[in-house]
Structure 1
Amino acid sequence: MRFLKVPFATPRRRLILAAAAVLLAGCIWFLWPSDARTASTTVTAEATSSTIKDTVTGSGTLEAARSEDLSFASSGTVTAVNVKTGDRVKKGDVLARIDTASLQAALTSAQAQLDSAETTAANDGSETASRRAANTAAVASARAGVAEAQDALDAATLKAPFTAMVATVDIAVGDQVSASSGAPTGSAGSTGTTAAITVMTPRSFVVTADVSADDVARLTTTMQAEVTPAGATDPLYGTVTAVGKVAEVSDSGTATFPVTVTLTGKQDDLYAGTSVDVAITVSSRDDVLTVPTAAVTTEGDATYVQKVSDGSTTKTEVEIGETYGPTTEIVSGLAAGDTVSYTRETRMPGGGTGGVTFPGGGELPPGFEGGTFPGGGTFAGGSLGGAR
């Protein structure tokens, strides 16, 4: 009788074993005691003297230091647009105009009414007191009409209110504008905004940062701030110019206060709308000696560090001051340049102690790299250890 010999480790079996091994390894990793998944490393650090800053942080968006939406206060047809987006203009420059024919006619008519009223008032000596009062009122009304017509004529021209850069232009020659909005009506080029032209200060920026209610009471104007745009590594500098007194409540119910920081100097590579982080300096101390907080140990009333000198470690008592997160101030017991050692706990990406073996072996599917399972056991080179 002949028997058919079937290989124990078929490709299908190998794949199943590999998947089971990885699944089992993951379960062991998450169920393994946390202290078995960390490693202790002894490290050293120098006591350093530096400037320590107490800061209040917030975030916000860059805005132009000054911007203004310009609109026509008269209705008419746009006859001239003298600027485009990005242009630089000086105060008083003419940016755009609308047709003035009807506005000029209205002014001429108002002036004629004023002339007539003044003539009548000049010849009312023989009239009654009430009639003379009426003539005087008519002159005043006519003068107001002239002033109004003159204002409407002046409003037919948009002028730059300050030296600026043109941010947006939402009108074109031929557009109809209304006195209520100043933006084109029924025009294909209209964006629906209320401004015909928007101008802003070039290279001068402010940021309004949201600061927590707990921190805003510590802030005053003239405090210095560091402003770091999104994606930048080096901060810019500014000054607090306004501290809001009315809280703004977010959707989550958190209350924050707006704090305005004006950037120092002219900025060539910044753009309005950029997100920034703000750190406002509340106080600053120079020449503060610090070591890593993890290097400081307290036992009873004594605080000490492990000082390293000439290759040996000595338990050295120190007096500490303020703690600044990862660093602690040393008031006495150490000098700048002294070295301390301490133990740092690190989480192990894999491994552990003990032994776990996976019978069956076989090749792992592509993509499985070599490594160590938690609790022992290895796989390397795409293969799973074990006897077939």
Structure 2
Amino acid sequence: MTTTTSRRTLVTNGALAVLLLGGAAFAYAQLGTDEAAGETALRTATAARGGVTASVTASGSVESAKSRALTFGTSGTVERVNVKAGDKVRKGDILAEVDDDAARETLSAAQATLASATEDGTSTAQLYAAYVKARNAYREARRAVDGTVIRAPFAGTVTAVNGSVGGSSSGTGSGQTQTGQTGQTGQTGQSGQSAQSSQQSTTGFIELADTRKLQLVGSFTESDAGRLKVGQSATVTFDALPGVTATGKVSQIQPVASTSNNVVQYPVTITFGSVPAQVRLGQTATVEVVVGSAENAVTVPTAAISTSGGRSTVTLLRDGAQVRTQVEVGVRGTATSEITSGVSEGDVVVLPSVTTGTGTGNGQQQRGFGGGFPGGGPGGVPGGGR
């Protein structure tokens, strides 16, 4: 009985040992399979000569570079409105008038008083004071009469009329929306001022703009704004006009930033050089400004460059070994960048790696890639996880 029990114990222990050895072998084999599947594919590119262009972009809306909110210089009741939104006018044209009877009566009285003071002479201090007072009253009355009409200060297009016959000379505030030739709607109360005050709204009785001189004010991030200079070339595209582009230049960079959602931005004015016929005031547009370019330069993919603490490096492949090398970057473009030192034409640079792997979870095979950047590791860091 004792012998039989010993034999059974020995058989059981042997079976357990076999099972343990088999499990260890399976685990080792599986680990080897996973390691093979998780191998990192080495990606490389060759430094070559070519051109590099760097640019920054922003969006905005088309506005007139020359516009004015026109008002009467005299209070009164509007007698005539000679234009409507969309009308084109010439410099000096009378756009609107108020009843000038009272103003002319005041002018006549002031003129008579001045004539009398002139006849009395200025031989004494009292006479001189009377003359000056009469002269100033006449000038004020003259300005009041002149203020009963609104004249066009330049040739342009009426963008809004904010009043009507029989109403107050200060305007109603409702006005008419712009239609017709300029194609803008809902612009009542906007003056389209210059870049210095483009973000402020001023209402005039009549709004006038020169549609031949257009501009766009875009908000650039502080890093992009630091790369801009007055005079740089720009290309403007329009959301509603596929295939239509306009050219322009940076004409002003605002020194004071605006902050929205913790993002610091600087308004930058782009003045159009050429204006396609289809472009209208108020249209949404995107501006791209070229901030740097290089020709016949040694270039590498921008993705191959790592920058930290103001120091840029690339990884070179030399005799099968990866060598981290410090470089000087010139023009940094979106796809490729200029290397001014540290890399020569023909050198092989290592790109951020792409690591693939397989694993099992709930009986399903899973395949993963590093980061959101091609070849990125955890958290989207190029080459991370290596």
Corresponding residue number in structure 2 for 1:326: 335
Give unpaired runs (5+ residues) of structure 2. 1-34, 178-187, 190-201, 306-312, 368-386
2:219 to 210, 215, 221: 210
DSSP 3-state at the match of 2:236: strand
Contact kept, 8 Å, 1:172 with 1:189, in 2: the verdict is no
Corresponding residue number in structure 2 for 1:105: 105
- Give matches, 1:149-188, under 5 Å: 149-177=141-169, 182-184=170-172
Query: Given residue 239 of structure 1, which amino acid in structure 2 is its aligned partner?
Result: K
DSSP 3-state at the match of 1:245: coil
DSSP 3-state at the match of 1:112: helix
2:123 matches 1:135: no
2:290 to 270, 275, 281: 281
DSSP 3-state at the match of 1:176: coil
Output the CA distance in 2 between the equivalents of 1:265 and 1:236.
6
Corresponding residue number in structure 2 for 1:311: none
Listed one character per residue, the Cα deviations across residues 243-281 of structure 1 (whole Å, up to 9, x for unaligned) are 22222232x233322221111123422233333333322
Listed one character per residue, the Cα deviations across residues 192-237 of structure 1 (whole Å, up to 9, x for unaligned) are 8841100001132112222233343433211112223335455432
In the alignment of these two chains, the number of paired residues is 298
Change beyond 3 A, Cα 1:113–1:290? same
Change beyond 3 A, Cα 1:304–1:75? same
Change beyond 3 A, Cα 1:77–1:50? farther
2:220 matches 1:228: no
Instruction: Report the identity percentage.
Output: 32
Corresponding residue number in structure 1 for 2:118: 118
Change beyond 3 A, Cα 1:216–1:291? closer
Structure 1 residue 64: deviation in Å?
0.9
Output the CA distance in 2 between the equivalents of 1:242 and 1:78.
39
Structure 1 residue 44: deviation in Å?
11
Output the CA distance in 2 between the equivalents of 1:39 and 1:77.
85
2:237 matches 1:245: no
Change beyond 3 A, Cα 1:188–1:257? closer
Give unpaired runs (5+ residues) of structure 1. 1-34, 123-128, 306-313, 358-372, 377-388
Corresponding residue number in structure 2 for 1:24: none
2:73 matches 1:64: no
Output the CA distance in 2 between the equivalents of 1:112 and 1:133.
21
Change beyond 3 A, Cα 1:240–1:293? closer
Output the CA distance in 1 between the equivalents of 2:49 and 2:175.
65
Change beyond 3 A, Cα 1:267–1:68? farther
Change beyond 3 A, Cα 1:303–1:347? closer
DSSP 3-state at the match of 1:92: coil
Higher mean displacement: 205-214 or 73-82: 205-214
Query: Given residue 144 of structure 1, which amino acid in structure 2 is its aligned partner?
Result: N
Taking only aligned residues, the RMSD between alpha carbons, in angstroms, comes to 4.5
Report the TM-score when normalising by structure 1: 0.61
Report the TM-score when normalising by structure 2: 0.62
